[in-house]
Amino acid sequence: MNGFEKRANQIKAKIMKTTLEMLRASDPKKVRIADISKLAKVSQVTIYNYFGSKEELIREVFKNYFDKTIRDFEEYMNEGHSLKEKIEHIILLEKESYKDFTPGLIKQLITEDNELSQYIERQYRETTIPLTVRIINEGKESGEISENVTVENVLAFIQLYMNQYESILEMAQKSGDTDNFLEGMVHMFFYGVCGKR
């Protein structure tokens, strides 16, 4: 990479970081190129040259964030952790990602951007599901998941949790001890309300 390319990548990264910070605090419809330009200390022309439009910029920010989350997750999965540690890590990732992209924001972005919706669906199908199945199979091989439980059972159970994660996180925050609450949810995920059999 030559000096020009390196500089261009640094400018793009700064624009995307600024946009992410603005999305954390504001509705995408209220985010303006003029405001991004001011905060990132680059011209509006520069932003349009790199991204073409506000919609494309927001799409790239979301894709970049999603890709990095998956890469970090895959690295963690390859470090030899127990199944319980992996599930705890998934819940922690969900908790952290909701600080950046709330479920409402994600739904809004997906509804309004067909290309982004297709991208998320493809990543879910091609990366997230196979990785989750691998984790479950490793858990079955290590004896951490009962032989009476199928991969489909665990996938369904995880989906139930994820479908209600926004509500679970709200309850965790209201409890006054978010980490302890989520630790209890992890315990119930593995052992149910009666504890280990």
pLDDT for residue 88: 79
Q: How far is CA 193 from the centre of its chain?
A: 28
Check if the beta carbon of residue 131 is closer than 8 Å to that of residue 74: yes
CA angle 45, 48, 51 (to 5 degrees): 150
The DSSP secondary-structure symbol of 32 reads -
Tell me the CATH architecture of domain 54-191.
Orthogonal Bundle (1.10)
Nearest C-alpha neighbor of 66 from the set 126, 136, 148, 2: 126
Burial of 172 (0-12, 13-18, 19+ CB in 10 A): buried
DSSP 196: -
Hey, what are 139's tokens? 């858990």
What was the pLDDT predicted at 99? 66
pLDDT tens digit at each of 197 positions of the chain:
678 888 888 999 999 999 988 988 888 888 999 999 999 999 999 999 999 999 999 999 989 988 888 888 888 888 888 888 887 787 777 767 766 677 677 777 778 888 888 998 898 889 888 988 998 898 888 888 888 889 999 889 888 887 787 788 788 889 988 888 888 887 887 777 776 65
pLDDT at 39: 93
Q: Which DSSP letter does residue 29 get?
A: G
Q: Which two tokens stand for residue 118?
A: 């297709």
Q: Which residue shows structure tokens 């119930």? A: 188
In this chain, the answer to whether the domains covering 1-52 and 54-191 adopt an identical fold is: no
pTM: 0.75
DSSP one-letter code for 30: G
Per-domain boundaries in the chain = 1-52, 54-191
Q: Give the model's pLDDT for residue 155.
A: 86
Is the CATH number of domain 1-52 1.10.10?
A: yes
